[in-house]
Structure 1
Amino acid sequence: MANRSEQRIAILFVLPAVALVAIFRMFPLAWGFLLSFTSGDGAGGAKFVGLDNYRALTTDAAFHDSLINTLILLATLPIWVMLPLLLAILIHQGVPGGKLFRAVYFFPAVLSAVIIGSIFNVVLRYDGSLNAALRSVGIEAVDWLGQGATALACLIAVQLWATFGMSVLIFMAGLSTVSSELVEAARLDGAKPGQIWWHVILPAMRPILEFVAVVTTIGVLTSMFGLIYVLTAGGPGTATTLPEFLIWMEQGKMNRPGYAAAISMVLFVGMAGLAYVQIRIMSRNANA
């Protein structure tokens, strides 16, 4: 009886969380999946079209461009992980002004995407402060946000600047948990500082590294809409369009909720697959 009573109490505590997930996560996901098989304006005139929306994605140049931009973004992920780790190591080693650097690195994380986008729009536009500084030293101005290659690079750099401070703090917390006895034992065995970091500290930090990699991957794929909207509006052309921004374009401007839902499902499946692979790698390393 006692066990049953404890089970009922546990269920009562868990039930609100399950209800919230079902209402705000599972139901919208199921509704989006069903919507992806329809066409119409979402105002009651939806018509079942089967896989037509998914077939249309195979020939949609804007969708293809958004996938290419996503792959380019994912290719830069090692920078998103290793740069915060390097900075965390430097602070952990006690560089002068370490506390100040920690605060400065974290500060952008408390700013909204709209504020960050507005600031860098002023800095990076053709008549902005960056080009003014270049002209003052005799360097020709660059249309940073008006050219495809530079616009995407600027978008990635700004998002990295805005978010890497949180990773720095996570790595700082991880470094503080590394066994000092293990480090001292390696030092007594004659290991050099570089060897200690490579063979002792970094292996101990592997779960933290993997966690940051997973969280960063999900973040860059789902949290850049505000910055894109303010900084580049997806342009020039589709040079900085990512799937999440294209979803808004199709839903908000083109009024095609079924097509937008199809893009959402493709993005969801891609993210779920990528997260699954990363988690499998993490589990395999943990059991190694």
Structure 2
Amino acid sequence: MTGSDTQKGIWLMVAVTAIFAAQDGISRHLASQYNVLMIITVRYWFFAAFVLAMAARRPGGLARTAATRQPLAQAFRGVLLAAEVCVMVVGFVALGLVQSHAIFASYPLLVAALSGPLLGETVGWRRWGAIAIGFAGILVILRPGFAVFSPQALIPLAAALMFALYGLMTRYVARQDSAATSFFWTGTVGAVVLTPLGLMNWEAMDPRDWGWMALLCVTAATGHYLLIRCYEVAEASAVQPFAYLQLVFAALIGVGIFGEAIAPNVALGAGIVVLAGLFTLWRERAARRRG
């Protein structure tokens, strides 16, 4: 990789985080008025069409892209991500963008903590220390013992756990399948699973909100495309720390558009979580270089 490739990858990741934050804001708006399953189903229809179009353009077409020797693992990944998206959007409505993203930022720590028992990866004492500090940051956000604990705070934490498991499953299937194959299964399985649920919970939508729905679909496809391009031009370890900017962009949208407030404990806790997560990413990168 050249320096210019890394720089381009960083800017692509910044764009991705901004687009995904906008997508979260639109999801929050629509899910506050309509059934979450219906909203995510329509979004997945567009996502699946995008995935199929990308696969059709690859050498060997759809058949070669879809081919895998681990269909159950790939299908489980697809179901897990679809469920995580639904849970996280519920969190946006229940808690708002700021607090939901502050808690969700713990997912890299969960990946690090679970990579040992689930994938057999080595996690050194420094990363375990960072994981402990990160979860102390989560406690700062939740403030148990200092305020009435809201069970709703467990919603984005559950989403973070699901996304961490999805990330670990992605590492697992990557031992045999290409990124294109995993991407194909992610989009198509999610659409298949969500379609009957979305249709059962269908609601009439205001014509103006169909415009927001269309924008939600476009941001989803654009964000995923730019993320693919990002990983094509730069190493994942070099650009991954910038993924935390989604928390910043989501906070700006939450405060500026939805009138959310950033409580001091949420800001402090989120800072602790992000710093701990950045440290675990740095240690993981150093461990890979030594290996």
| TM more than 0.5 | no
TM-score (norm 2): 0.29
TM-score (norm 1): 0.29
Between Structure 1 and Structure 2, which shows a larger proportion of helix residues?
A: 2
